[in-house]
Amino acid sequence: MKKNLWFWLYFIAAILLAIYFATRIVMAFMGYGPTAMVRHISISADTNDKDLTPIIAAAGIAPGTHSHAIKLELVNARIEQTPGIKESAVRRLPNGNLSIRVNLYHAVAERTDGVYYYPISANGKDVKTPSETRGAGTVVFRGKIPNDIGEITKAANNLIGNLDYLEWIDDRRWNLITLGGITIMLPENDPISAIGNVVVLDKKYNILSKDLKVIDMRDNTRILVK
């Protein structure tokens, strides 16, 4: 008799616990109850030199929001509109937590509007807040920037110390402006090799230190100097 009593007590307790947890699960799934609310939002990036505050603002999720009422694809879309964000992923974690993971574009150069310097990625996107000070040893662009500046930036780094800025001319070719005021007109085809030729000429003849206005390299067969 004692054995049967304990059996029924355990059975009733198991039934009550099952009902309790089932109710909590259903409430969480439907977006009700404390377990369905966002308690904590964690944000991580693939680099540590990024201010994540704009990402929090772009996510637009406040603690206490029902997690299942949040459309993750919309949150991702908002985050990916933040300057410097390459891609993002948002997922729900247990106990009402949300995790946001972002991959960032990395600054390879700067663009300037004449006042501020904006760190930009290899595809010309702004990746950090601007500064009034030019970064030391940084390639700078002015005006319109094409979608791919990776290779020209690498080549232009060989002229750091002489280079003031680059300009994209007529949507087809580059001009390099030196700190001495010389305009180097690069050819439309293979501007990388042309920059290499400038580096060689400067090592041999100090051409960038001379009193010149223009070095015209648009014709691959000859270089015109003015």
Same domain? 115 vs 220: yes
Residue 174 lies in a domain: yes
Strand 140-142 versus strand 173-178 pairing type: unpaired
Same domain? 78 vs 167: no
Q: Can you tell me the mean pLDDT for 19-45?
A: 68
Same domain? 220 vs 122: yes
pLDDT grade, residue 27 (50/70/90)?
low
- pLDDT, tens digit, 9 for 90 and up, residues 12-25: 888 888 887 776 66
Q: Can you tell me the mean pLDDT for 112-137?
A: 90
Name residue 100's amino acid: I
- pLDDT, tens digit, 9 for 90 and up, residues 76-102: 888 888 877 888 888 887 666 788 888
Position 28 scores a pLDDT of: 54
Q: Count CB neighbours of 155 within 10 A.
A: 21
Structural domain including 141 reads 109-225
How many domains does the chain divide into? 2
Same domain? 116 vs 221: yes
Position 126 scores a pLDDT of: 85
Strand 173-178 versus strand 183-185 pairing type: antiparallel
**Which one of 104, 124, 154 terminates a domain?**
104
The CATH number of whichever domain residue 58 belongs to comes to 3.10.20.310
Buried b (16+ CB within 10 A) or exposed e, 18-56: eeeeeeeeeebeeeebeebbbeebebebeeeebeeeebe
- Token digits of residue 196: 């290499």
Q: In sequence order, which residues have a C-beta less than 8 Å from that of residue 177 and are 6 or more positions away? A: 163, 164, 165, 166, 167, 183, 184
**Which one of 104, 124, 152 terminates a domain?**
104
Q: pTM of the predicted model, to two decimals?
A: 0.66
Q: In sequence order, which residues have a C-beta less than 8 Å from that of residue 56 and are 6 or more positions away? A: 41, 43
Same domain? 162 vs 91: no
**Which one of 62, 83, 104 terminates a domain?**
104
